[in-house]
Amino acid sequence: MKTARFPSWCLCLLLAGCGAENTGSPVQAPGAPAAASTRLLEAGAAALQDMPPVDALNAYLDGFHFYSGHMAGQMEAHHYCSIVNEDVIQCVIYDGNVRDAKLMGVEYIVSRRLYEGLPPTEQRLWHSHVHEVKSGQLILPGVPELAERALMRKLVDTYGKTWHTWHTDRDKALPLGVPQLMMGATADGQIDPARVAERDRRFGIDSAAKRAERADIPAPPVHPAADAWQRGPAYQIDDPAGAHHEAAPAR
């Protein structure tokens, strides 16, 4: 994608800061410390190799996820995203924002237009972003309010499909089991207030204030197929290794 075709809000993100490195990983992976030869190889690769897909990660979003069918299993999710086009965003998700953060999974975000064109069975796997935006729980750390607001106006009418592959809230050593489908909040009280308050403290922000600032962002109607965990048995992949979070009936 040529820079000249980026939407204006994306250019603002590129020019803005990316937030403090203030959230460590809760996991210490087993293994010997990197040897000097390994560090040398890493430095050489960084100096000599181009990494266009990684360089395209130009937006950092912070929010919260929970396991589909198991709301008590929730965690902060650090999204590093690339803007594919006006209708598609793709994100890699980490459990922190420091160098040794663990890669937890991926999220694909699509516009309402693309979501409405999906088969009904596929639509059930996706979650809405209206509440995450309007509640102030979804943030862009280090980005000026004007740029954050512009992206939030876009994200409020999008849908995400999220799979976590390393359940670092439970698996403290290695990624075990199979991917798990994740969801986002659709109402107040679903995400632990203490978790939100602790996140806000680290970033020096106020989710309640952001909620008030976003009050005039229009809240589009949520497609009835999205957030399917609310209307029946929640979908999860059966885990032959011993399911970490079994699917449960909607609350």
pLDDT of residue 238: 86
Residue at 18 is within a domain: no
Q: Summarize the confidence of residues 69-96 as an average pLDDT.
A: 95
Instruction: Give the single-character DSSP code of 95.
Output: S
Structure tokens that stand for 240 in this block: 């032959």
pLDDT of residue 161: 98
CA-to-CA distance for 249 and 81, rounded, in angstroms? 32
Is pLDDT of 32 > 70? no
pLDDT digits (tens, 9 = 90+) for 176-197: 999 999 999 999 999 999 999 9
Is pLDDT of 79 > 90? yes
Is pLDDT of 109 > 90? yes
Residue at 120 is within a domain: yes
Q: How would residue 47 be classed by pLDDT, with cut points 50, 70 and 90?
A: low
pTM confidence score? 0.84
Q: SS3 of 71, please?
A: strand
Lowest mean pLDDT among 18-22, 65-69, 91-95: 18-22
Of 165, 187, 190, 188, nearest in space to 178 by CA = 165
pLDDT digits (tens, 9 = 90+) for 214-228: 999 999 999 999 999
pLDDT digits (tens, 9 = 90+) for 230-250: 998 899 988 887 755 554 433
Residue at 194 is within a domain: yes
**Angle at which helices 145-155 and 8-15 pack, to 10 degrees?**
140
Q: Indicate the number of domains in the chain.
A: 1
Q: Residues 221, 181, 159, CA angle at the centre, nearest 5°?
A: 25
Residue at 109 is within a domain: yes
Residue at 27 is within a domain: no
Q: Residue 105: in which H helix or E strand, if any?
A: strand 103-111
Residue at 181 is within a domain: yes
Decide if 137 contacts 196 (C-beta within 8 A).
yes
In this predicted model, which residue has the larger pLDDT, 121 or 48? 121
Residue at 217 is within a domain: yes
Q: How would residue 2 be classed by pLDDT, with cut points 50, 70 and 90?
A: very low
pLDDT of residue 52: 82
CA-to-CA distance for 229 and 234, rounded, in angstroms? 4
- Which domain does 176 fall in, by range? 54-231
Residue at 157 is within a domain: yes
Decide if 102 contacts 95 (C-beta within 8 A).
yes
